[in-house]
């Protein structure tokens, strides 16, 4: 099988969507297929074209061969003009990574459910489970790129309220996607003079090394198609406090998941303080997911079967 994978950003940029893309592409290539990662449509005779959602609002749709299968891989729903939306809804099959985004496509784009396939992400095999927990949490990890809607405005307020406690914050993210916003947030947090360590553009295995050492994983995002970083933390048993975003119904199966209905700094702050002051309550979330991991080979196999069915 010969495919072209169309996206606007280099595959090396760290994001939840790119982690997914990287594993799909690598898995298909390892299985003997040809996958060209392009920033503009090629005239090479491909069997299938895969279009990342980041690319959908900039692509010249006339450059795509609508007589060959087209797959729209939706990590976030893009804003499309009427003609572009009509093209993709007519000629494309859709893959989403979380259940809520599938429902939004049905409601907002009037797509049929049978035209949308849900293929959730997986976990790298080196993400092994946490073996030992501290009685009282003091190390909090946040994994989110420095872009709007990831909750950095509320994180600044949260750190301000908690900086006098014996807590350390580890913040992992990519600052290059919106550099002005990233600099503004990083400077604001630095000026708080709290115990905060930043790690920029780290590889996924390095993310694991930081997350596994944490006592609490904090997800403040207001917009997720799935919630890759949260999924990784939950899978290895990190007690996780999260906004109710992404595939939150799916995450309810994890015993270490604590979703908040109220998206407010007081809700996050009070929950963290409750866990600090009540070790017995905190211990109830120091648990592992008792099922097998959903690994990337499983995901690649699902994706390949999907491609075979539409070829």
pLDDT tens figures, 31-74: 999 999 987 888 788 999 999 999 999 988 998 999 999 999 99
For 170, 210, 256, the CA distances from 213, given in Å and listed in that order, are 10, 6, 15
For 168-225, write each residue's pLDDT tens digit: 999 999 999 899 999 999 999 999 999 999 999 898 999 999 999 999 999 999 988 8
Go through the domains of the chain in sequence order and give each one's CATH number.
2-122+295-310 (3.40.50.2000), 139-283 (3.40.50.2000)
SS3 track for the chain: CEEEEECCCCCCCCCHHHHHHHHHHHHHHHCCCEEEEECCCCCCCCCEEEEECCCCCCCCHHHCCCCCCEEEEECCCCCCCHHHHHHHHHHEEEEECCHHHHHHHHHHCCCCHHHEEECCCCECCCCCCCCCCCCCCCEEEEECCCCCCCCHHHHHHHHHHHCCCCCEEEEEECCCCCHHHHHHHHHHHHCCCCCEEEEECCCHHHHHHHHCCCCEEEECCCCCCCCHHHHHHHHCCCCEEEECCCCHHHHCCCCCEEEECCCCHHHHHHHHHHHHHCHHHHHCCCCCCCCCCCEHHHHHHHHHHHHHHHC
C-alpha–C-alpha distance, residues 79 and 84, integer Å: 10
310: which 2 tokens? 């539409």
- d(C-alpha 166, C-alpha 246), whole Å: 31
Mean pLDDT confidence for 152-179:
96
pLDDT digits over 221-274, tens only? 998 889 999 999 999 999 999 999 999 999 999 999 999 999 999 999 999 999
Contact 120, 97 (CB under 8 A): yes
Q: What is the pLDDT of residue 311?
A: 84
pTM of the predicted model over 0.75: yes
The per-residue pLDDT for 40 is 83
Task: Give the pLDDT mean for 135-147.
Answer: 97
Question: What backbone phi and psi angles, to 5 degrees, belong to 76?
Answer: -140, 145
Q: How many Cβ atoms sit within 10 Å of the Cβ of residue 218?
A: 25
What percentage of the chain carries pLDDT values higher than 90?
A: 85
For residue 303, give Cα distances in angstroms to 31, 127, 219, 229, 293: 12, 22, 28, 21, 17
Please report how the helices 179-190 and 152-162 are oriented relative to each other, as an axis angle in degrees rounded to 10: 10
* Average pLDDT over the chain, rounded to an integer: 94
Using 50, 70 and 90 to split pLDDT, how confident is the model at 129? Answer: very high
- Find where tokens 């890759």 sit: 228
Residue found by looking up tokens 């729903």 in the block: 77
pLDDT, residue 11, reads: 81
């Amino acid at each position: 099988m010969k495919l072209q994978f169309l996206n606007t950003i280099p595959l090396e940029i760290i994001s939840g969507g790119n982690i997914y893309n990287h594993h799909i592409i690598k898995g298909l290539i390892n299985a003997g297929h040809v996958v060209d990662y392009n920033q503009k449509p090629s005239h090479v005779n491909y069997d299938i074209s895969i279009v990342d959602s980041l690319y959908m609002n900039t692509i010249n749709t006339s450059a795509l061969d609508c007589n060959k299968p087209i797959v729209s891989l939706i990590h976030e729903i893009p804003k499309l003009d009427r003609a572009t939306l009509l093209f993709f809804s007519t000629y494309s099959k859709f893959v989403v990574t979380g259940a809520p985004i599938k429902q939004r496509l049905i409601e907002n784009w009037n797509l049929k459910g049978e035209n949308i396939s849900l293929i959730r992400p997986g976990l790298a095999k080196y993400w092994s489970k946490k073996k030992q927990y501290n009685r009282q949490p003091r190390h909090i990890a946040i994994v989110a790129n420095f872009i709007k809607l990831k909750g950095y405005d509320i994180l600044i307020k949260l750190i301000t309220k908690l900086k006098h406690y014996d807590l350390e914050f580890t913040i992992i993210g990519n600052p290059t996607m919106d550099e002005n916003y990233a600099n503004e947030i990083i400077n604001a947090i630095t000026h708080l003079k709290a115990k905060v360590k930043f790690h920029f553009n780290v590889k996924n295995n390095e993310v694991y090394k930081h997350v596994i050492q944490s006592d609490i994983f904090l997800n403040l995002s207001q917009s997720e198609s799935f919630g890759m970083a949260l999924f990784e933390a939950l899978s290895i048993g990190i007690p996780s406090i999260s906004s109710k975003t992404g595939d939150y119904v799916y995450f309810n199966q994890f015993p270490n998941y604590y979703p908040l209905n109220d998206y407010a700094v007081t809700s996050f702050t009070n929950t963290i303080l409750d866990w600090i002051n009540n070790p017995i309550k905190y211990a109830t979330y120091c648990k592992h997911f008792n099922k097998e991991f959903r690994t990337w080979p499983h995901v690649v196999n699902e994706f390949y079967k999907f491609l075979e069915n539409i070829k």
